[in-house]
Every structure is written in structure tokens, then in C-alpha cells.
Amino acid sequence: MGQNSMTHHRYELPIPGPAAEDKDAREILRVWGAGGKQCITIDTQDEGGPAGWGIALVDLARHVAVAYEQSGGMKGTVVLDRIKRAFDANWGKRKGR
């Protein structure tokens, strides 16, 4: 099936409210788990460049921590610590895909 032939997937997450309401919003990252691997689409046209992605990754880690804490799964500080340790342990292990 071609990339644009499927408009919705049954496990697709909803578009967040502010993005759905902003006519100029655009998706910059999509991550799926498929076949035991991560499948990723990235829009690198953002003005922030690589440094902007560093900020976005930190923001993403914080959102993950909040989500875990809100679900009662784990304290946010513990989540952030585990994310950081995993990031540091895996830095430089893989290049490319």
C-alpha cells in the first residue's frame, strides 16, 4: 500500500486540539511501532534546525513523564531519569537506521 493510500489507521492517535484548531499547524514527527521496529517520518523544514530538535526531544521527554504520572504509572521524575539514562547508554550505539 502506498504512503498516501491510507488516510487513517485504527491505532492512529488523535490530532491534539490546539493543532487541529490552528490552520497553520503541521506535523513534524510521526513514530510508529511496526514489525518490532520504529518507523519514523520527520519534517526537517523547521526553522530550529538540529538545536531545535534537541529542545523538542527534551520537551517530548517531559510530556512522556507527565503522561506516566497522570496515568498513575510512575512519578514523572523517575520517568525522566530513566529516559535520560537510556538515552546516555544508547548514544552512539547506532548510526542511521
DSSP 23: T
Containing domain of residue 68, as a range? 17-90
**Residue 69 domain-assigned?**
yes
- Residue 9 falls inside a structural domain: no
Check residue 48 and give its pLDDT.
Answer: 86
Which residues on neighbouring strands pair with residue 41, listed in sequence order?
30
38 in a structural domain: yes
Prediction pTM value: 0.77
DSSP 46: S
The CATH number given to whatever domain includes residue 72 is 3.30.2370
What are the pLDDT digits (tens) for 5-58? 457 889 999 999 999 999 999 999 999 999 999 999 999 887 789 999 999 999
Quote the DSSP letter at residue 63.
H
Encode pLDDT of 79-97 as tens digits. 999 999 999 999 988 765 5
Contact 61, 78 (CB under 8 A): no
Output the pLDDT for position 45.
87
Is 12 inside a domain boundary? no
Say if 34 falls within a structural domain.
yes
Domains in the chain: how many in total?
1
CA dihedral of 71, 75, 80, 86, whole degrees rounded to 10: -90
Query: Residue 92's pLDDT is what?
Result: 85
Q: Is residue 50 part of a domain?
A: yes
* Spatial distance between the Cα atoms of 59 and 48, rounded to a whole number of angstroms: 14
pLDDT band at 3 (very low <50, low <70, confident <90, very high): low
Q: Is 4 part of any domain?
A: no
